[in-house]
Structure 1
Amino acid sequence: MQIRPLEPADYDSAVALWEAVSLTRPWNDARADLTRAMQGPDSTVLGGYEPTGTLVATAMVGHDGHRGWVYYVAVTPDLQGKGYARMLMRACEQWVRERHIPKIQLMVRAQNAGVIGFYEALGYEASDVKVLGRRFDD
């Protein structure tokens, strides 16, 4: 699998992948998230591509100056378990390290035990924090 930033021609495929693996939510505009990440200097969406050029995996990565964040880690369902997500996470970590950001974080829904186990196997640990948020409806 080759990993590189998404091309605009792959945006629809990325959103379709996110929908296929249930990462999207009706209250979030996944396409807008992708577009913002690709436009900003402090974020990108990495794509995992087969030799044929087909997009089979994604990970959105960015930083706020202190910590890196990872979102939308997805692998085509029939290719899960082949190490693609692990490769993408290592690419995200490298992206963050290249920018001299001291830590990397991600959020996983508490009920998603399998995914939590995956990240724990990569060395990620639960943080003793409460995430608070506020949505703007404009």
Structure 2
Amino acid sequence: MTFEIRPFAPDDTTAVVELWETSGLTRPWNDPLKDIERKRAVQPELFLVAVDDARVVGSVMAGYDGHRGWLYYLASVPDRRGEGIAQALVSAAETRLLAMGCPKVQLMVRPDNTGARGFYDAIGYEPFDTWATGKRLIAD
């Protein structure tokens, strides 16, 4: 089976939100439609989807703040896992970040998400201890 990686297009919205929901990436305090809208306003070229024909089979959202890159919303459809979709999306995001001069990339994984932790470990991401904190500026 094959797939292509390309920038997100507005017509991908419904499929991407369904993918995130199926993959357990959405949370009640984050509106995925607003997350997509915000990403389309800032570095939209770093919002990528994997597609097979017209079907969205994966996504990743990346960003670069001038100091480090970040990865968010990495997912592949359950019936296509193990085909290298997620790894190809990460690689494509890393390539784009590197072209922007990004020296390092980080991401956050919930502690109980052992599948994601194993995936990132297998592709060379190293865990490190840090205290993560945040503050919501706009309530969704």
TM class, shorter-chain normalised?
Answer: over 0.9
Shift of 1:43: 6.0
Match of 2:24 in 1: 22
Amino acid at match of 2:136: R
SS in 1 for 2:46: strand
Query: How many Å separate the matches in 2 of 1:18 and 1:71?
Result: 11
Match of 2:14 in 1: 12
Match of 1:98 in 2: 99
Match of 1:134 in 2: 135
SS in 1 for 2:62: strand
Match of 2:51 in 1: 49
SS in 2 for 1:128: coil
- Give the TM-score, by structure 1 length: 0.94
Shift of 1:44: 3.0
Shift of 1:37: 0.9
Structure 2 stretches lacking a partner, 5+ long: none
SS in 2 for 1:132: coil
Structure 1 stretches lacking a partner, 5+ long: none
Match of 2:121 in 1: 120
Q: Give the number of aligned pairs.
A: 137
Identify if the C-alpha distance between structure 1 residues 21 and 42 changes in structure 2 by more than 3 Å, giving closer, same or farther. Answer: closer
Shift of 1:133: 0.7
Match of 1:3 in 2: 5
Contact 1:62/1:68, CA 8 A, preserved across alignment? yes
- Give the TM-score, by structure 2 length: 0.92
SS in 1 for 2:135: coil
Identify if the C-alpha distance between structure 1 residues 45 and 137 changes in structure 2 by more than 3 Å, giving closer, same or farther. Answer: closer
Query: How many Å separate the matches in 2 of 1:22 and 1:72?
Result: 10
Query: How many Å separate the matches in 2 of 1:43 and 1:131?
Result: 27
Shift of 1:136: 2.9
Amino acid at match of 2:82: G
Identify if the C-alpha distance between structure 1 residues 5 and 43 changes in structure 2 by more than 3 Å, giving closer, same or farther. Answer: closer
Query: How many Å separate the matches in 1 of 2:18 and 2:50?
Result: 14
Identify if the C-alpha distance between structure 1 residues 43 and 69 changes in structure 2 by more than 3 Å, giving closer, same or farther. Answer: farther
Shift of 1:35: 1.3
Shift of 1:41: 3.1
Query: How many Å separate the matches in 2 of 1:9 and 1:25?
Result: 23
Runs of 4+ aligned structure 1 residues displaced above 4 Å come to none
For the aligned residues, what is the CA RMSD?
1.3
Identify if the C-alpha distance between structure 1 residues 33 and 43 changes in structure 2 by more than 3 Å, giving closer, same or farther. Answer: farther
Amino acid at match of 1:49: V
